[in-house]
Amino acid sequence: MEEGCRAQAPQTTGRLSLMSFDTLPAPLRDALTTRGYASPTPVQAAVLAEDTAGRDMLVSARTGSGKTVAYGLAMATDLLGEGTRLPPPGAPLALIVAPTRELALQVKAELTWLYGPAGGRVASCVGGMDPVAERRVLQNGAQIAVGTPGRVRDHIERGNLRTSDIRAVVLDEADEMLDLGFREELEAILGALPEERRTLLFSATVPAPIAKMAKDFQRNALRLEVSSKDEPHGDITYRAALVSSGDVERAVVNALRLEDAPISMVFCSTRAAVNRLHGNLTERGFETVALSGELSQAERTRALQSLRDGKARICVATDVAARGIDLPELDLVIHAELPRDPETLLHRSGRTGRAGRKGTSLLVVPPSRRRIAERLLHAARVQAEWGPAPSAEQVRAKDAERIAARATEILGEEIAEEDLAIARTLTGLQGAPKDDTAGWSQADGAAPSGVDPLALAAALVKLLRAPLPAPEELTSVSDRPRRAPGDYDGARGAGGPPPSSEGVWFRVSVGRDGQADPRWMLPFLCKRGDVSRAEIGRIRIQGHESQVEIAPYAAAHFAANARRPGGEEAHIRVEPMQPIPRGPRRPVRR
């Protein structure tokens, strides 16, 4: 790396100068007005402050805060200078690098309408697209280039993307790009750019690797932290639902039904989990698409378009596949599986609560994972409201409200004559004129000979309810208190006293002959019985079977869940070896 590329440590400022768009060039003001922008968002106001002119910046702002338009406006002086029109298309003057194809294409669309009135042309360099077509666009000229790290580097090394005229470079979602392993590509791209350029780093979080990159590639950078450090995602309500491990999918179903959001996103940790949940939701009647790394770009594009067109309302996705997705009507995020770290929690949740809309982020938490969920929320500095998952009764009650509202809405619409004719035939009632349907009366004073109007109304309700997926019945979950050290020794090894000791013993139908070992057995028991490691005592692995000791207060809960096998280990039986004690009862947190 050349010495001239190195930079001083970023400076920090907490001042945000709120302003209007009046000082911007006229074409940009016109574009903003056309798109309905009346005043800057906080991040846009921050990058347009007087002390930011011409400086490198490290900006931490959450997704959905208007940062694409923010850095589009921030580099306006670098591209336009004192004029109102961009120079003719040629070698790019600005380069924006984004972590995913979807985000890069969204950035291209945003900058196209923003710089269109100024004569701007935006070229994309995105992995998964036709590189020959991209090369032709670059050869024809463009003032702005947007792309993903690998494809941008490839075009630079092949000479398709000329970097000699670059005046500004933006790394969008820089933390995600490092998480995805693009450090080498980013360093190669930045090293190929002119030294006298402006470098803008935008990131939702600023971990140590981002701070180091700012030090290496920025000069006298201005640090702007726009979002509140104590209240990230202020437009998002965080909730945590405690459910039995066997009811996670059912809890997701009820949450989707109760919220009935225009668009919902459900996160899983693996492709296999995405495919399984997507299939199960589709089978239940939900309009669902899946996003995972195994999909082609064309398949991803079709899935996202179906969400934007309203053909689908639920997206089941992995963390990587969902990065960079912007769906304005996404009001609900469900974590069917907990994220691996607080940054991922914030990135997932940041898909909702965007552009001034309110959103909900729901964590579905089995009791054995509650401590992990609490640590994640604490590390992410967000407060979650704990409670049970939506019950089937709550969903049905909400359905009743919505169906009544929809029926009332239908009755308030203009009634066509052919519809009135069918109604007369069914009910035996003579209808009043179309503009006075409230004045219906019985024909000639006689009792109607048609269908009972109450039965007809019930049929309407049935028709409105028919497309709705059925809610799921959930097992009641006890929020079991953690025992004080010494109450029950959960760390004892095999070879202890016989089953008549303090714990309740269970028989597991797999032993050494089935290659069972303690390292596999312990997580299997936790998942199967929905208990924590502290509630499992001695494990004795024998030839054809194994025996496990469960704390007395958790034995009934363990037995109830162990009887409902699922997944790849459904063939393994777990049965009690002795009567389950009735007490002590576990207190239930309401």
Q: Are residues 508 and 544 in the same domain?
A: yes
Round to whole Å and give the CA distance between 207 and 7. Answer: 18
Q: Are residues 221 and 247 in the same domain?
A: no
Q: Is residue 464 part of a domain?
A: no
Q: Are residues 221 and 282 in the same domain?
A: no
CATH code (residue 504): 3.30.70
Per-residue pLDDT at 255: 95
User: Strand runs (DSSP E) across 220-319, as ranges?
Assistant: 222-225, 236-242, 263-267, 288-291, 314-317
- Burial (CB count within 10 angstroms: exposed 0-12, middle 13-18, buried 19+), residue 462: exposed
CB 433 within 8 A of CB 422: no
Round to whole Å and give the CA distance between 317 and 275. Answer: 9
Round to whole Å and give the CA distance between 368 and 89. Answer: 59
Q: Are residues 149 and 296 in the same domain?
A: no
What angle do helix axes 518-529 and 552-562 make, rounded to 10 degrees?
80
CB 525 within 8 A of CB 565: no
Q: Is residue 272 part of a domain?
A: yes
Q: Are residues 96 and 204 in the same domain?
A: yes
Per-residue pLDDT at 17: 44
CB 86 within 8 A of CB 28: no
CB 555 within 8 A of CB 581: yes
Q: Is residue 456 part of a domain?
A: no
Round to whole Å and give the CA distance between 198 and 227. Answer: 23
Distances (CA, A) of 583 to 535, 549, 555, 580: 15, 16, 10, 9
Q: Are residues 171 and 314 in the same domain?
A: no
Q: Is residue 441 part of a domain?
A: no
Domain boundary residue, one of 375, 390, 405 = 390
Distances (CA, A) of 117 to 29, 93, 137, 241, 372: 10, 17, 20, 49, 51
Find tokens 């992990």 and name the residue. Answer: 372
Structural domain boundaries enclosing 517: 484-590
Q: Are residues 22 and 48 in the same domain?
A: yes
Per-residue pLDDT at 407: 77
Which tokens hold the place of 554? 């958790």
Which tokens hold the place of 567? 């997944």
For residue 342, give the 3-state DSSP assignment.
helix
Count: domains in the chain: 3
Q: Is residue 438 part of a domain?
A: no
Round to whole Å and give the CA distance between 186 and 91. Answer: 20
Per-residue pLDDT at 494: 35
Round to whole Å and give the CA distance between 121 and 117. Answer: 10
Q: Are residues 260 and 354 in the same domain?
A: yes
CB 173 within 8 A of CB 103: yes
Round to whole Å and give the CA distance between 209 and 215. Answer: 10
Q: Are residues 187 and 288 in the same domain?
A: no
Domain boundary residue, one of 167, 200, 225 = 225
CB 484 within 8 A of CB 495: no
Residue 304: which residues within 8 A CB-CB, separation 6 or more?
102, 289, 291, 325, 327
Please count the other Cβ atoms lying within 10 Å of the Cβ belonging to residue 174. 29
Find tokens 């792309």 and name the residue. Answer: 147
Per-residue pLDDT at 566: 64
Per-residue pLDDT at 141: 94
CATH code (residue 133): 3.40.50.300
Interior/surface letters 124-154, b for 16+ CB within 10 angstroms, e for the rest: bbbbebebeebbebbeeebbbbbbbbebbbb
Q: Are residues 149 and 23 in the same domain?
A: yes
Q: What is the CA radius of gyration of the chain?
A: 30
Domain boundary residue, one of 371, 390, 409 = 390
Find tokens 């964590």 and name the residue. Answer: 363
Q: Are residues 144 and 13 in the same domain?
A: yes
Tens digit of pLDDT per residue, the chain (590 long)?
Answer: 333 333 333 343 434 444 568 788 889 988 998 888 878 888 888 888 888 888 899 988 766 677 889 999 999 989 988 888 999 999 999 999 998 888 888 899 999 999 999 999 999 999 878 899 999 999 999 999 999 999 999 999 999 999 999 999 999 988 878 877 888 999 999 999 998 899 999 887 777 788 888 888 888 888 888 754 444 556 789 999 999 888 899 999 999 999 999 999 999 988 889 999 999 999 888 999 998 877 777 788 888 889 988 899 999 998 877 776 778 788 999 999 998 888 788 888 888 877 667 889 999 999 888 888 998 898 888 889 999 999 999 999 998 888 888 777 777 777 777 777 877 777 766 554 444 444 444 444 444 455 667 777 777 777 877 778 888 888 877 544 444 333 333 434 333 333 334 678 899 988 887 777 777 888 888 888 888 887 888 888 888 888 898 888 888 888 888 877 666 677 888 888 877 766 544 444 33
Interior/surface letters 312-327, b for 16+ CB within 10 angstroms, e for the rest: bbbbbbbbbbbbbbbb
- Please provide the distance, in angstroms rounded to a whole number, between the alpha carbons at the two ends of the chain: 60
Is there a cis peptide before residue 584, judged by omega within 30 degrees of 0?
A: yes
Q: Is residue 62 part of a domain?
A: yes
Largest CA distance in the chain: 100
Per-residue pLDDT at 481: 42
Per-residue pLDDT at 430: 59
CB 505 within 8 A of CB 542: no
Q: What angle (nearest 5°) sits at the alpha carbon of residue 415, between those of residues 414 and 421?
A: 170
Per-residue pLDDT at 449: 52
Q: Is residue 473 part of a domain?
A: no
Q: Are residues 140 and 281 in the same domain?
A: no
Q: Is residue 349 part of a domain?
A: yes
